[in-house]
């Protein structure tokens, strides 16, 4: 350091020639500091919070897994209930139809031609039933399909009942006629 530099540094206080407007500047500083939001300590930095967060996470995962598995089982059992219900309806109508078809087949007053015509109707309804049953397996919750299956059975029973009524009616006319004579 030469003489010039030393001279300046020794007298550097003389370079402080300005006076700050202290009160005005402090007012702004204080206002800025007051407006500052309180310092936020991130919760995740606290070890206690980390433990609590881990527990919550584990609980949430357990609940999620529980819902998935139990919900799946429930849904399965619900499907089983629907399936069982469908099976019962199917069994009931199937037995009813089989019984009546057998009655038609064994009926002595019906010609073979009438029997064949009737059975061909029943075959068509059987095919329709097959399609509906496949549809039902795909979508058990579809009430319209279920209704269509029941409708299919009812139509078959109605057909059989009509046929049997016709046979009985013709028999009664003949009997009346005979009785009149």
Partner 1 sequence: MKTNIRFTHQELVEKSKLGDRNSQFQLYEQYVDAMYNVSMRMLCSKEDAEDTVQDSFVEAFKNLGNFRYESTFGSWLKRIVINKSINHLKLKRIPLVPIIDHEYHLTEEPIENIKDIDIEKVKRGIKQLPPGYQQIIHLYLIEGYDHEEIGEVLEISKSTSKSQYHRAKKKLLEIIKEM
Binding site for partner 1 (CB under 8 A): 2-5, 7-9, 11-12, 14-22, 24-26, 28-30, 32-33, 36
**Rg (alpha carbons) of the chain, rounded to whole number:** 47
Nearer to partner 1, 22 or 138 (CB): 22
DSSP 45: G
- Least separation in angstroms between residue 18's CB and partner 1 is 5
- Least separation in angstroms between residue 4's CB and partner 1 is 6
- The residues, any chain, with a CB within 8 Å of residue 129's CB and separated by 6 or more, are 149, 152, 153
- Least separation in angstroms between residue 47's CB and partner 1 is 20
Structure tokens at 34: 């007051």
Nearer to partner 1, 17 or 113 (CB): 17
- Least separation in angstroms between residue 40's CB and partner 1 is 13
Q: What is the largest CA-CA distance in the chain?
A: 161
Nearer to partner 1, 40 or 181 (CB): 40
Instruction: Let me know: does 152 contact 92? Beta carbons within 8 Å.
Output: no
Nearer to partner 1, 14 or 48 (CB): 14
Nearer to partner 1, 5 or 113 (CB): 5
Nearer to partner 1, 27 or 65 (CB): 27
Question: Residue 97: how many CB atoms within 10 A of its CB?
Answer: 21
Q: What sections of 107-142 are H helices per DSSP?
A: 112-138
Q: CA-CA-CA-CA torsion for 45, 47, 53, 58, nearest 10 degrees?
A: 140
Distances (CA, A) of 24 to 30, 34, 35, 46, 49: 10, 16, 17, 40, 44
- Least separation in angstroms between residue 67's CB and partner 1 is 46
- Least separation in angstroms between residue 13's CB and partner 1 is 10
Instruction: Please give the Cα distance from 74 to 79 (Å, whole number).
Output: 8
């Amino acid at each position: 350091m030469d003489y010039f530099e030393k001279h300046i540094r020794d007298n550097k206080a003389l370079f402080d020639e300005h006076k700050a407007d202290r009160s005005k500047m402090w007012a702004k500083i204080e206002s800025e500091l007051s407006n500052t939001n309180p310092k936020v300590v991130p919760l995740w930095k606290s070890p206690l919070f980390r433990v609590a967060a881990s527990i919550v996470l584990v609980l949430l995962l357990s609940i999620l897994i529980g819902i998935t598995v139990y919900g799946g089982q429930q849904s399965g059992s619900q499907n089983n209930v629907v399936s069982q219900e469908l099976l019962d309806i199917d069994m009931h109508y199937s037995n009813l139809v089989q019984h009546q078809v057998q009655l038609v087949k064994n009926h002595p007053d019906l010609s073979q031609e009438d029997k064949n015509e009737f059975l061909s109707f029943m075959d068509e309804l059987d095919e329709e039933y097959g399609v509906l049953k496949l549809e039902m397996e795909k979508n058990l919750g579809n009430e319209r399909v279920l209704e269509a299956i029941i409708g299919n059975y009812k139509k078959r029973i109605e057909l059989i009942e009509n046929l049997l009524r016709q046979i009985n009616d013709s028999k009664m006319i003949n009997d009346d006629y005979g009785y009149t004579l």
